Structures are given as structure tokens and as C-alpha cells.
Amino acid sequence: MPPKPEAGDDPRPTMHCGFAALVGRPNAGKSTLLNHLVGEKLAIVSDKPQTTRHRILGVRHYPGGQVAFLDTPGIHRPLHRMNVQMVESAVETFRQADVLVVVVDASAKTGQGDRFLLSLLERVTTPTFLALNKIDRIAKPQLLPLIEWYRTRRTFAEVIPISALTGEGVDVLERLLLDRMPDGDPLYPTDYLTDQPERFFASEIVREKVLRHTRAELPFSTAVVIDRFEEADGAGGIVRLYASILVDRASQKAIVIGRQGSLVARIGTEAREELERFFGRRVFLDLHVRVRPNWREDTRWLAEMGLRPGSH
């Protein structure tokens, strides 16, 4: 029989629990990394810059603890009120996290955008990891000068080459992050995954399809708002979603609708199919394209999409 713990002893093993923020430039692969880390698709993924507009929480439970990952919008020099609030959301996580993970596209050349990101980190004392992502796209010798470029500009607690797409090196990143988390009890229940509501995921699934089928400036000037959300009534019920795709100009509306409504119909079909997988039941999706000039500067529309100053 094991000895009885003395008074004041805690027989429970030490748990490591805390927050890790994924920060970086647009298209660095933060959302792909979040999805890989939590094992679920929480963030939509696109090859278009500035795909992520919200801070997304994803919780991973480990035998030795718990890490709450924060996926953030790509950091860039903002031109619209919407972009200002996106960058504010990302910078706010600097103060919330126990560890920052700077995710870098290792296959892209360094430049002013990287210097701007590092300048925002100058006064940050939070332990910072450098995750060199997309190593599946480059030859390994190319990593050495990239690591040197970053190390001459900031001290990183760890430098980890990874591929969020293939999973290479991600287990190393997870192990190092868990070791860095503070000692303490889990922050969330063991069945907890994210803080975002179903309404958010519904709008993001539709927006992902818009991004997939549009080009040029359209991805930047479109948004999706759920006008009405009716939950299924009973086991065999149908989820009913009424959504609007917002665009800046009438010419953009015509592009999104397509010839005889062909493009918006394709967007609607693909979105409905994924929504049915997401909800696990049939979905009715009513989709409209609406012109809202300068919606990216309109605080009311930004609030509709959950982008409020200081709310993150």
C-alpha cells in the first residue's frame, strides 16, 4: 500500500495549463496550424491574404495539461477600420498569452511586413517561439539563413521548423509549448473545444466558399452575415440559415452572382454540403448578395460580424 500523503501534500500530478497565441503575417499558415493542433476545423483556410478576421480559441487537452490556442488575424499595416480592428485583436493576444508562437512562412522572402511584425514585439516580454512553417515547400539548407535573420532581430525561446500541412515538427512544438505552460488546474472542461458559437462557424463556412470562387480584390471586400438562424426542431429537423454576402459595389455583386446566378448557386451548394456535415443534419440555406458601400468602415456592420474595438 502506498504511503498516505502528509497534510498539505497534493497527490495529484502537476498539470501545465495556459494560453498560446499564434501570431504572424497574413498567409503564414496560422489557421492550418490551429486546425492541426486541435484536430478539428475551427478556422477556414484559403490562399487569399487576411482570411482570418477574428481571434479563434481552440483548446487541446493533453495527459499532462491543457493548452488554449489563440489563432489571430494576420498582422499587417491596416487600411480600413475593419483591418485596424483585426490587427488590434491580434496585438491584444500578446498580453493574454503565456507563450507567443510567431508563425512564419519559411518559403517566402523576408521583408517590410516581417520587420513590422517584429517591431510590434519589441516591448513584449512574453516567452516567444519562432515556428518556421511550410518547410515541406523548401530545401532544408534554406532554413539556416532564415533562422539567422530572425535571431539577429529578436531572442526566441525556441525555434521550431514545422509543416502545419503535413504535421512535420508539430509534435515537437506541442511538447515544448506544454512544458512552458504555468502549473495549475485546467482552464476549461475536458469536453471544451472553442468559444465561438455555431452562428460564427456558419458564416465562416459560407465565406470560405466565396473566397474559393472569387479573385482579385473581391476577397477583401466581401463578408458574410447570418441574418437569421433557426435551429432544427427535433431529431429529424432542418437547420434553416438565411445569410447575406456583402460587397462594396454593384459590379462586385454581379461577379458573385455569376452568369444567370451560376456562381452564387455553386457557393450555396458547397456551403450547404459542408454545413450539413458540420451540424450533422439537413440544412436549408437561403443566400443573398447585397451591396453595402464602405461596409469595412461601418461600425454597425463590423459589430454584426463580431468585430468590435476592445472586445477581443
C-alpha cell at 54: 477574428
Looking at residue 8, its pLDDT comes to: 47
Exposure string (b/e) for 289-310, b if CB count within 10 Å is 16 or more? beebeebbeeeebbebbbbeee
Indicate the Cα dihedral angle 303, 306, 311, 312, nearest 10°.
Answer: -150
Write the pLDDT tens digit of every residue in 31-56: 999 999 999 999 878 777 666 667 88
**DSSP calls for 115-172:** HHHHHHTTT--S-EEEEEE-GGGS-GGGHHHHHHHHHTT---SEEEE--TTT-TTHHH
pLDDT at 234 over 90: no
Closest to 136 (Cα-Cα) out of 106, 97, 111: 106
In tens, the pLDDT along 122-135 reads: 888 999 999 999 99
pTM over 0.95, yes/no: no
Tell me what percent of the residues of the chain surpass a pLDDT of 70: 84
As assigned by CATH, the class of the 16-180 domain is: alpha beta
DSSP states of 34-90: HHHHHTS--S---SSTT---S-EEEEEEETTEEEEEEE-PPP----SHHHHHHHHHH
Q: Is 266 helix (H, G, I), strand (E, B) or coil?
A: helix
Domain positions in the chain are 16-180, 198-304
pLDDT-derived band of residue 147, with 50, 70 and 90 as boundaries? very high
Checking if the pLDDT of 62 tops 90, the result is: yes
Q: Give pLDDT, residue 2.
A: 39
Q: Which residue has the cell 504572424?
A: 24
Fold for the domain defined by 198-304: GMP Synthetase; Chain A, domain 3 (3.30.300)
- Residue whose C-alpha cell is 460587397: 247
| Nearest CA-CA partner of 207 in 85, 89, 45 | 45
Residue 12 has pLDDT above 80, yes or no: no
Work out the average pLDDT over 204-217.
85
In tens, the pLDDT along 237-248 reads 899 999 999 998
**Per-range mean pLDDT, top range of 11-20, 108-117, 176-185:** 176-185
**From the CB of residue 2, how many other CB atoms can be counted at a distance below 10 Å?**
5
